[in-house]
Amino acid sequence: MTAPNAHETPVKRFAREFGAEPDGVWRAPGRVNVIGEHTDYNAGFVLPIAIPHGVTAAASRRSDDVLAVASAQFDGPAAQMRLDALEPSNASWHDHAAGVLWALRKGGHPVAGLSLLLDGDVPVGAGLSSSHALECAVALAANDLYSLGLSRDELARVTQRAENDYLGAPTGILDQSASLNCTAGHALFMDTADLSSRQVPFDLAAHSLELLVIDTRSPHRHSDGEYAARRAQCESAAAALGVDFLRTVTDPVVAAARLRAIVSDADDAELLIRRMRHVVTENARVQDVVALLESGADPRTIGPALTASHRSLQYDYEVTVPRLDTAVDAALSAGAHGARMTGGGFGGSVIALVDQAARAGIVTAVAEAFDGHEFARPEFFAVTAGPGASRLFLR
Ligand code: GAF
């Protein structure tokens, strides 16, 4: 029996589990999306940063067509799965590793067995993409160990297939692209229609600012029905408007008039209008924020767009929950320049753009607001734009 040991390196833990040192070690980060929420499955724009938290995968090839996967965070021996017997599942954390190998093989890529030791510090259930960090670390390891030669964007598509078809979560391409393609000191401005992207300077410390994460400790899950329902509503709105994706819509007022004329049930029409309006205005906000950051303006100027994004997610997209709204409202009242939920919503984390000097007061104000609602106290930590996924070594 192996036991978690906080001081043991992934290499040592791997050797203890599998009897030899790993062939290599890879690391992939979680992400915070600065703005551009629920736009990725509408072929729209996103602007994530990689965060310093991530998942490290120590891995070796095996010749027996078995995935053996252990975790530094969980007690117990490695789970063992025959690759040719894998069936879609989302019952355990190791299904995220299995899903990547399953998706690689479904895509015709020749991967055989892997021994894996995973070690992560992305808060789970906080909406910071812990599962995508795991999947990206495993995808990079398999790509190197089996000399697959896949590009970062191809690996992002592989992990998206694992999420959609193995784990049953109908997510877009934001999170894995952030983990694989972000660079330190930058946000990644990506057009999800074709995955074209550019790096946008994002150095808040140079302006005595920081991005404060408020983990509301109300866990979210993408396989729950609400995320899928939002996606389906966007597809219905696009179909009614005669476009492939809502990204094509630029004037929400004209589109709303058309939806009222086309959709016979008035309540259905108003619901589709709210969803459409979020997507169209959010795409515009991403472009506005990128323009401000690229112009060299004080990053404080992006604050109002962050807050407008939250209000749109709260009232038009309806994916916030009381803890998220409470955190945003309290942070703004205490002096944050902007605040919004980040990630899929229905729980998870808020980000607040704060002056470094104001951070302590904002933390106290949010904590007291949570006490007032008898919510469990959130976790607070600042994040900087860290590097994307990488190989740490390969023997
Ligand atoms: C989750 C999904 F995984 C992403 O694809 C994206 O849709 C996000 O929610 C919302 O922007 O993180």
Are 186 and 266 contained in the same domain?
Answer: no
Contacts of 132 (CB under 8 A, 6+ apart): 28, 30, 31, 159, 163, 175, 176, 178, 179
User: Above 70 in pLDDT, residue 3?
Assistant: no
Question: Does residue 360 fall inside a structural domain?
Answer: yes
Residue nearest to atom 2 of ligand 1 (CA): 171
> Across the chain, which distance is largest between two alpha carbons, in Å?
68
Residue nearest to atom 9 of ligand 1 (CA): 344
Are 114 and 262 contained in the same domain?
Answer: no
Are 239 and 191 contained in the same domain?
Answer: no
Are 156 and 235 contained in the same domain?
Answer: no
User: Above 90 in pLDDT, residue 104?
Assistant: yes
Question: Does residue 4 fall inside a structural domain?
Answer: no
Token representation of residue 82: 């025959």
Give the relative orientation of helices 322-333 and 359-372 as an angle to the nearest 10 degrees: 140
Decide which of 165 and 221 is more confident: 165
Model pLDDT for residues 286-339, shown as the tens digit of each residue: 999 999 999 999 999 999 999 999 999 999 999 999 999 999 999 999 999 999
Q: Which residues span the domain enclosing 108?
A: 10-200+386-394
Cα(52) to centroid(ligand 1), Å: 19
Q: Which listed residue (40, 119, 153, 175) is catalytic?
A: 175
Are 221 and 303 contained in the same domain?
Answer: yes
Return the SS3 of 184.
Answer: coil
Are 87 and 166 contained in the same domain?
Answer: yes
User: Above 60 in pLDDT, residue 4?
Assistant: no
Residue 125 CB burial class (10 angstroms; 0-12, 13-18, ≥19): middle
Cα(174) to centroid(ligand 1), Å: 6
Q: What domain count does the chain have?
A: 2
User: Above 80 in pLDDT, residue 212?
Assistant: yes
Cα(22) to centroid(ligand 1), Å: 32
Q: Which residues have CB under 6 Å of ligand 1? A: 33, 37-38, 40-41, 171-172, 174-175, 222, 343-344
pLDDT band, very low/low/confident/very high, at 2 (cuts 50, 70, 90): very low
How much is the pLDDT for 5?
A: 64
How much is the pLDDT for 8?
A: 81
Cα(201) to centroid(ligand 1), Å: 23
Cβ atoms of 92 and 69 closer than 8 Å: no
Cα angle: 355, vertex 357, 361; to 5 degrees: 95
**Which residue from 38, 275, 317 has its CB within 8 A of the most atoms of ligand 1, so it is best to mutate?**
38
Residue nearest to atom 3 of ligand 1 (CA): 171
ipTM exceeds 0.90, yes or no = yes
* % of the chain exceeding 70 in pLDDT: 97
Domain of residue 337, CATH code: 3.30.70.890
Token representation of residue 44: 């729209």
User: Above 70 in pLDDT, residue 222?
Assistant: no
Model pLDDT for residues 108-158, shown as the tens digit of each residue: 999 999 999 999 999 998 999 999 999 999 999 999 999 999 999 999 999
Distance from C-alpha of 156 to C-alpha of 369, rounded to nearest angstrom: 39
For residue 27, which of 111, 120, 102, 125 has the smallest C-alpha distance? 120
Question: Does residue 215 fall inside a structural domain?
Answer: yes
DSSP 386: B
**Which residue from 174, 180, 224, 231 has its CB within 8 A of the most atoms of ligand 1, so it is best to mutate?**
174
Question: Does residue 105 fall inside a structural domain?
Answer: yes
- Nearest-atom number in ligand 1 for the CA of 163 is 3
Model pLDDT for residues 191-205, shown as the tens digit of each residue: 999 999 999 999 999
Model pLDDT for residues 181-193, shown as the tens digit of each residue: 999 999 999 999 9
Are 184 and 262 contained in the same domain?
Answer: no
pLDDT band, very low/low/confident/very high, at 280 (cuts 50, 70, 90): very high
Model-level pTM greater than 0.90?
Answer: yes
**Which residue from 40, 124, 160 has its CB within 8 A of the most atoms of ligand 1, so it is best to mutate?**
40
Measured in whole angstroms, the distance separating CA 361 from the mean position of its chain's CA atoms is 28
Question: Does residue 2 fall inside a structural domain?
Answer: no
- Nearest-atom number in ligand 1 for the CA of 46 is 11
How many C-beta neighbours within 10 Å does residue 387 have?
15
Residue nearest to atom 8 of ligand 1 (CA): 344
How much is the pLDDT for 97?
A: 97
User: Above 80 in pLDDT, residue 6?
Assistant: no
Cα(36) to centroid(ligand 1), Å: 9
For residue 331, which of 363, 368, 293 has the smallest C-alpha distance? 363
Contacts of 67 (CB under 8 A, 6+ apart): 80, 81, 83, 86, 97, 98, 101, 113, 114, 116
The type of residue at 176 is Q
Is 175 annotated in the active site?
Answer: yes
Ramachandran region of residue 217, left (φ > 0), alpha (ψ -120 to 50) or beta? left
Distance from C-alpha of 304 to C-alpha of 294, rounded to nearest angstrom: 17
Burial 323-353 (b: 16+ CB within 10 A, else e): bbbbbbbbbbebebbbbbbbbbbbbbbbbbb
How much is the pLDDT for 1?
A: 35
Cα(184) to centroid(ligand 1), Å: 21
- Nearest-atom number in ligand 1 for the CA of 174 is 5
Cα dihedral 7, 8, 9, 12 in deg (nearest 10): 160
DSSP 215: E
Residue 90 CB burial class (10 angstroms; 0-12, 13-18, ≥19): middle
Question: Does residue 260 fall inside a structural domain?
Answer: yes
Question: Does residue 1 fall inside a structural domain?
Answer: no
Are 89 and 149 contained in the same domain?
Answer: yes
Are 226 and 340 contained in the same domain?
Answer: yes
Model pLDDT for residues 71-100, shown as the tens digit of each residue: 998 878 899 999 999 999 999 999 999 999
Question: Does residue 353 fall inside a structural domain?
Answer: yes
Are 214 and 332 contained in the same domain?
Answer: yes
Are 17 and 81 contained in the same domain?
Answer: yes
Helices (H) and strands (E) in the chain, counts: 11, 12
Cα(127) to centroid(ligand 1), Å: 9
Cβ atoms of 34 and 129 closer than 8 Å: no
Phi, psi of 62 (to 5 degrees): -130, 160
Token representation of residue 110: 């020749």
Distance from C-alpha of 380 to C-alpha of 272, rounded to nearest angstrom: 35
Are 185 and 217 contained in the same domain?
Answer: no
Distance from C-alpha of 269 to C-alpha of 257, rounded to nearest angstrom: 10
